[in-house]
A and B are shown apart, each in its own frame.
Chain A
Amino acid sequence: MSTTTEQQPPQTDLLERPVAVAGDPLAAPSPKAPRRAARSMYQKHSKVYPKAVHGTFRRIKWAALAVLLAIYYVLPWVRWDRGPNAPDQAVLLDLANRRFYLFFVELWPQQIYYLTGALILAALGLFLATSLAGRVWCGYACPQTVWTDLYVWVERLVEGDRGERIRLDQGAWTARKAGRKVLKNLIWLLIALATGGAWIFYFTDAPTLLGEMLRFEVSSTALGFIGLFTATTYLLAGFAREQVCTYMCPWPRFQSAMIDEDSLIVTYQDWRGEGRSLLRKSQSWEERRAEGLGDCIDCFNCVQVCPAGIDIRDGLQMQCIGCGLCIDACDEIMTKVGRPTGLITFDTQTSQVAVATGGQPVPFRLLRPRTILYTLMMLVIAGGIGVGLLLKPGLDISVLRDRAPLFVALSDGSVRNAYTFKISNMTRDPRAYTLAVSGVTGASLSVAGDGQDEQAGTQRLTAGADMVATYRIFVTAPRTGLQGASQPLTFRLTSADGEVATYDSVFMGPAN
Chain B
Amino acid sequence: MAQKEKDALSGVETTGHEWDGLRELNNPLPKWWLYIFYVCIAWSLVYYVFYPAWPLGKSYTKGLLGYSQREELVQKVAEGKKAQEKYLTAIAATSVEDIQKNKDLLAFAMAGGRSYFNENCAACHGAGGQGAKGFPTLADDVWLWGGTTADIYKTIQHGIRADDGDTRGTVGIGMTAFGKDGILNREQIAQVAEYVLSLNKRSTDAAAAEKGKTVYDENCAACHGDSAQGSVAVGMDVGAPPLVTANWLYGGDKATLVETITNGRAGVMPAWSKRLDDATVKSLAVYVHNLGGGK
Contacts and interface: CB of A to CB of B under 8 A. Distances in A.
Given A404-B126, A449-B106, A7 B8 contact: yes
Contacts of B140: 408-411, 416
Interface string B1-43: 1011111111111001010010101111111111000000000
Nearest to B242: A411
A97 interface: no
Given A3-B5, A247-B30, A405 B128 contact: yes
Nearest to A44: B31
Given A2-B21, A29-B11, A472-B290, A409 B246 contact: yes
A1 B5 contact: yes
A69 interface: no
Interface string B105-139: 01000000000000000000011111100000101
A42 B34 contact: yes
B100 A449 contact: yes
B141 interface: yes
Contact of A411 (B3, B4, B128, B247): B247
Contacts of B26: 39, 41
A406 B128 CA distance: 9
Contacts of A472: 290, 292
B285 interface: no
Interface in A132-148: none
A410 B247 contact: yes
Contacts of A217: none
Nearest to A46: B30
A120 interface: no
A411 B292 contact: no
B10 A29 contact: yes
Nearest to B137: A408
Nearest to A16: B9
A215 interface: no
B264 interface: no
Contacts of B32: 45
Interface in A75-120: none
A6 interface: yes
Nearest to B245: A411
Interface residues of A, number: 42
Contacts of A283: none
Interface in A391-438: 402-406, 408-413, 416, 418
Contacts of A409: 137, 140, 246-247
A40 interface: yes
Contact of B8 (A6, A42, A408): A6
A42 B129 contact: no
B127 A404 contact: yes
Interface string A297-326: 000000000000000000000000000000
How would you classify the secondary structure of chain B's contact residues: helix, strand, loop or mixed? loop
Q: How large is the interface on B (under 10, 10 to 19, 20 to 34, 35 or more residues)?
A: 35 or more
Nearest to A42: B31
A418 B139 contact: yes
B142 interface: yes
A402 B139 CA distance: 11
A412 B246 contact: yes
Nearest to B107: A470
Contact of B130 (A42, A43, A405, A410): A405
A404 B126 CA distance: 8
Contact of B10 (A28, A42, A412): A28
B52 interface: no
A410 B131 CA distance: 13
Contacts of A174: none
A43 B28 contact: yes
B293 interface: yes
A26 B11 CA distance: 10
Interface string A479-494: 1000000000000000
A26 B292 contact: no
A405 B139 contact: yes
Nearest to B11: A29
Contact of B30 (A7, A42, A412): A42
Contacts of A37: 4
B141 A410 contact: yes
A3 B5 CA distance: 6
Interface string A1-22: 1111011100000000000000
Contacts of A405: 126, 128-131, 137, 139
A66 interface: no
Interface in B243-262: 244-247
A33 interface: yes
Contacts of B106: 449
Given A408-B293, A411-B141, A448-B292, A2 B23 contact: yes
A474 interface: yes
A451 to B, nearest CB: 10
Contacts of A416: 139-140, 292
A27 B27 CA distance: 11
A7 B7 CA distance: 9
Looking at A3, A24, A243, the one whose CB has the most chain B CB atoms below 10 A away is A3
A408 B246 contact: no
B132 to A, nearest CB: 11
A416 B129 CA distance: 14
Given A7-B8, A405-B131, A408-B292, A41 B29 contact: yes
Contacts of B29: 41-43, 247
Contact of B142 (A35, A411, A474): A411
A132 B32 CA distance: 36
A406 B139 CA distance: 11
A26 B292 CA distance: 71
Contacts of B242: 411
Interface string A421-465: 000000000000000000000000000110000000000000000
22 contacts: A1-B5, A1-B18, A2-B18, A3-B3, A4-B6, A7-B8, A8-B8, A27-B10, A33-B27, A33-B28, A41-B26, A42-B33, A247-B33, A403-B128, A404-B127, A405-B126, A405-B129, A409-B247, A411-B242, A411-B244, A412-B246, A449-B106
Ranked nearest first, the 9 interchain pairs of A and B with the lowest CB-CB distance are A405-B130, A404-B128, A404-B127, A43-B28, A413-B246, A411-B245, A42-B31, A4-B8, A408-B139
Given A41-B26, A410-B246, 13 more contacts: A26-B12, A42-B28, A42-B34, A45-B31, A45-B32, A402-B128, A405-B126, A405-B131, A409-B137, A411-B140, A411-B246, A412-B245, A474-B292
